[in-house]
Amino acid sequence: MPKRVLTGTVVSDKTDKTVVVRVERRVKHPLYGKIIKRSKKYHAHDEGNEYREGETVRIEETRPLSKLKTWTVLGRVDTHATPDSTAEAKKPAKAKKSADAEAPEAETAEA
């Protein structure tokens, strides 16, 4: 059977070699149909104590490591890398539009 992999946010890193990860899921209310968020906390093994509170990480199910820990941290998820690259791609396009808008005005002023 394949191991489950979840993505969540580290909410605590106070214990040695352990982080607590909150995983949110969206469910539909059975009667009213509204989409609501449900969350669950998982204790995950962090061998090098390298993950800090607030980081988004991926965790994988594993054999029981202690009474509470049955997950290990796979790594960080780059949530900030994607928006930056798209923002940089949009900036030159805006500069071209403003340069094109100024050029016709300059031509009409000369004529």
What does the block give as tokens for 81?
A: 């890398």
| Rounded alpha-carbon distances, angstroms, from residue 67 to 21, 63, 64, 85 | 16, 11, 7, 42
Burial class, 58, CB count within 10 angstroms (exposed 0-12 / middle 13-18 / buried 19+): middle
Residue 78 pLDDT: 85
- What's the pTM value of the predicted model, to 2 decimals? 0.68
Q: How many CB atoms lie within 10 A of CB 38?
A: 9
pLDDT tens profile 16-30: 999 999 999 999 999
User: What pLDDT does residue 99 have?
Assistant: 54
**pLDDT digit string, tens, across residues 80-100:** 665 445 555 555 555 555 555
Angstrom distance (rounded) from CA 97 to CA 93: 6
